[in-house]
Structure 1
Amino acid sequence: MNNWNELLVPRERTLNPTELAVGFVAPVTDQGLIAFTGAESATFLHSQLTNDVEHLGQDEVRLAGYCSPKGRLLASFLMWRNAESVFLQLAREIQPALQKRLQMFVLRAKTKASDAGEGQVVLGLGGGQAEAVLQTWFDVLPAKPYSKIDHPLGTLLRVADAFGAPRYLWLATPETAATAVPVLAERLHVGGNAAWRLSEIHAGVPQIAAATQEQFVPQMINLELLGGVNFKKGCYPGQEIVARSQYLGKLKRRTALVSVAAADVLPGVEVFSPADPEQPCGMVVNAAPNGAGGSDALVEMKLDALESADVRLGAAGGPALQFLPMPYVLDKLDV
């Protein structure tokens, strides 16, 4: 088997949360990867992103955001590093423009951005059986969420848990993937990008897409609850507004996990409260099919709408959102 996707891709199907909880593998092809390489890469990115990059260890993984000067998110990243580079994973659809924008601000800094996704396969794994399957190749796995190991067979990132089980991203060469996929396909449910996105949604981890750029201050999508904002680091674009929102209580919005009896829900779709039918009370951040003919989603909304638990998709008379438990404490402070 010379081509890894000859086995996995034809077997992809829409997975439901129960199948994800048992164990799944999904080739992740809708994520881009930027590498910043050079002696001043961490220093440069530290001045641009919402999280601490200068003290990012080689065994760590972090979330981070990139804001406009008005504090609105242009992108969200999964971030890690090795001895040579700092890596930023983001939605592939916005990678070219974001990479170009960040490169514009490099100026004299000793760093250069490049597309690091070429020649690399990204496999997402999770559920109760994933850990045992990965131990076929890895003697040691990352010990906790947001940690990583570098291995001869690739980089293994452990990200936020979902369904009570660890989730991993395995970055491998096509040759390594071609060796591994027969075992993976035999022992785990096989999904695709939608399956991985559904697992991210149930982990409560948002991602900025083209339709949601400049819509949210980081706290609106719970980014600081996930460790994606460091309020003690130095300045970055939009930092003053982000800090003011945190400490002066200017925001009254959060993101919730919901299910809705509607297919093909897309990021950027507005939601409405019947109590105020003329004005949207929020917006879909991410959504994925849930295997039951509907969608599960992360939806940003006003706190009063969240507390009323009566929110509709698309219009005040649209399908009702069914609120699901969040995987972390969602405070309802005026932030």
Structure 2
Amino acid sequence: MNDWIEHLEAQGLVRSATHEWHFGEATGQAHLPLETTALAPLPQFSIMEIAGADAERFLQGQTSAQVTLANGDFAPLTAFCSPKGRMLANGQLMRLEEGRYWLLLDSELIEPLHEQLAKYAAFYKVEISQPAVRTFGVMGRDAADRLESHFTTAPPETWGMQRVGQAVLLRHPGPVARYMVIAPEATALEAWQSLQPTTTAVGNAVWRLHDIQAGLAWLGAAQRDSYLPQMLNWEALAGISFRKGCYTGQEVVARAHFRGQVKKRLQRGRLASHVLPAPGTPVEDTAGKSQGEVLSAALDADGQTEVLAVITQRDEPRALVVEGNALTPLDLPYAVERVDPESLAGQA
């Protein structure tokens, strides 16, 4: 047992082996009242550190991001692909200092991505490790003010980062202001305790719902090596630089973009059900033919299930179901078109 877990459990935290953490609310509940500023532990995310004299050059050959854009202020989304262009992981790249980078990604993918990158790291002056840090979210109407009060600095803009002592602050898009705090355990615990009196502790399903509403999907182990980055709308989220040189899988990713060969796309929808489909659950047409699969799911304020799913594109509308429940399409908060990360770097 450690101080971080002990403190959260004293507040009523209930943990599960599948990274579903909540504070007494019904499992999967993801309602955040509009007037609330909330704290949520985020065990579904972990950090990989890539450090050494060749760290930038090493990453430039492996990731879809233009690594020089990760400058300590802008923290671009990125993807790591197989030679066939399929995503092995997606994440957010942070530069802490020269020759030292952090990568935020799904906790399930830390070990397999480390194993994949180690095949190439042997040829560079670089070390890959997992720093002992904790990650939690701060979200809601007054989230920025709460963070500024504790850290005595204004938090970053969307896809920006702010390093404050040993902590890193990130801002993610969503229906309310959302920030991540990533820090060693003692620093994270101090920040949580400072923010706690004026906030509400909620489960990490709230953060997942807001990812869904932001059209932001994080690959887990079940989806590894299955999709082109564009199938997760990664180019619409500025997660692919088409201006950089070669990286593993780049040729396939570029060809799919310039020839328009993307047959599946990430879509958002709602099910008239309070049962959460597991990642990988088929999306079917009324004839029972598979048209795609669910990536993530969470309950909204009405107790219905919102999902992100990768679905085969069709010109004509058609009825779709998930485990017998009708899937109602919902709008994404962005246009599905290319956004160059270079255009965002100066705005962070």
- Compute the TM-score of the two structures, normalised by the length of structure 1: 0.88
Query: Any gaps of 5 or more consecutive residues in structure 1?
Result: none
Do structure 1's residue 304 and structure 2's residue 314 form an aligned pair?
yes
Deviates most, 263-272 or 287-296: 287-296
Partner deviation per Cα, 1:195-246 (whole Å, 9 max, x = no partner) = 2222211111111111111221111110010010111111122211111110
Q: Are the structure 2 counterparts of residues 51 and 21 from structure 1 closer, same or farther at C-alpha, using a change threshold of 3 Å?
A: farther
Partner deviation per Cα, 1:4-30 (whole Å, 9 max, x = no partner) = 424455335354344377432101112
What letter is aligned with 1:19?
P
Alignment partner, residue 30 of structure 2: 16
Do structure 1's residue 295 and structure 2's residue 301 form an aligned pair?
no
Alignment partner, residue 178 of structure 2: 167
Deviates most, 190-199 or 77-86: 190-199
Note the 1:243-282 alignment, pairs <5 A.
Answer: 243-260=254-271, 261-274=273-286, 277-282=287-292
Deviates most, 129-138 or 284-293: 284-293
Which of 96, 111, 122 pairs up with 2:126?
111
The alpha carbon displacement at 1:171 in A equals 1.2
Note the 1:181-260 alignment, pairs <5 A.
Answer: 181-260=192-271
Alignment RMSD: 2.3
Partner deviation per Cα, 1:101-148 (whole Å, 9 max, x = no partner) = 1011113211110112x2x22111112121222122123223420111
Q: Are the structure 2 counterparts of residues 273 and 309 from structure 1 closer, same or farther at C-alpha, using a change threshold of 3 Å?
A: same
Identity percentage over the alignment? 29
Alpha-carbon distance in structure 2 between the residues aligned to 1:286 and 1:268: 9
The alpha carbon displacement at 1:290 in A equals 3.0
Query: Any gaps of 5 or more consecutive residues in structure 2?
Result: 14-22, 339-348
Do structure 1's residue 65 and structure 2's residue 79 form an aligned pair?
yes
Alpha-carbon distance in structure 2 between the residues aligned to 1:233 and 1:244: 14
The alpha carbon displacement at 1:184 in A equals 3.3
Q: Are the structure 2 counterparts of residues 187 and 27 from structure 1 closer, same or farther at C-alpha, using a change threshold of 3 Å?
A: same
Alignment partner, residue 330 of structure 2: 324
Alpha-carbon distance in structure 2 between the residues aligned to 1:106 and 1:22: 45
Alpha-carbon distance in structure 2 between the residues aligned to 1:61 and 1:29: 20
Deviates most, 167-176 or 56-65: 167-176
Which of 113, 138, 149 pairs up with 2:151?
138
The runs of at least 4 aligned residues of structure 1 exceeding 6 Å deviation read none
Q: Are the structure 2 counterparts of residues 190 and 15 from structure 1 closer, same or farther at C-alpha, using a change threshold of 3 Å?
A: farther
Deviates most, 53-62 or 287-296: 287-296
Partner deviation per Cα, 1:32-71 (whole Å, 9 max, x = no partner) = 2110110111111110111111332111111111111111
Residue pair 1:8, 1:27 contacting (<8 A) in 2 also: no
Q: Are the structure 2 counterparts of residues 12 and 50 from structure 1 closer, same or farther at C-alpha, using a change threshold of 3 Å?
A: farther
What letter is aligned with 2:189?
A
Residue pair 2:50, 2:100 contacting (<8 A) in 1 also: yes
Residue pair 1:126, 1:166 contacting (<8 A) in 2 also: yes
Q: Are the structure 2 counterparts of residues 292 and 189 from structure 1 closer, same or farther at C-alpha, using a change threshold of 3 Å?
A: farther
What letter is aligned with 1:170?
V
Residue pair 1:200, 1:206 contacting (<8 A) in 2 also: yes
Q: How many residues are aligned here?
A: 322
Classify the secondary structure of the residue corresponding to 2:144: helix
The alpha carbon displacement at 1:162 in A equals 1.0
Do structure 1's residue 35 and structure 2's residue 63 form an aligned pair?
no
- Compute the TM-score of the two structures, normalised by the length of structure 2: 0.85
Q: Are the structure 2 counterparts of residues 20 and 68 from structure 1 closer, same or farther at C-alpha, using a change threshold of 3 Å?
A: farther
Alignment partner, residue 94 of structure 2: 80
Alpha-carbon distance in structure 2 between the residues aligned to 1:8 and 1:59: 34
Q: Are the structure 2 counterparts of residues 152 and 54 from structure 1 closer, same or farther at C-alpha, using a change threshold of 3 Å?
A: closer
Alignment partner, residue 157 of structure 1: 170
What letter is aligned with 2:290?
P
Deviates most, 253-262 or 69-78: 253-262
Which of 286, 289, 306 pairs up with 2:296?
286
Q: Are the structure 2 counterparts of residues 2 and 236 from structure 1 closer, same or farther at C-alpha, using a change threshold of 3 Å?
A: closer
The alpha carbon displacement at 1:265 in A equals 1.5
Alignment partner, residue 344 of structure 2: none
Do structure 1's residue 5 and structure 2's residue 5 form an aligned pair?
no
Do structure 1's residue 178 and structure 2's residue 189 form an aligned pair?
yes
Alpha-carbon distance in structure 2 between the residues aligned to 1:20 and 1:74: 36
Alpha-carbon distance in structure 1 between the residues aligned to 2:234 and 2:195: 32
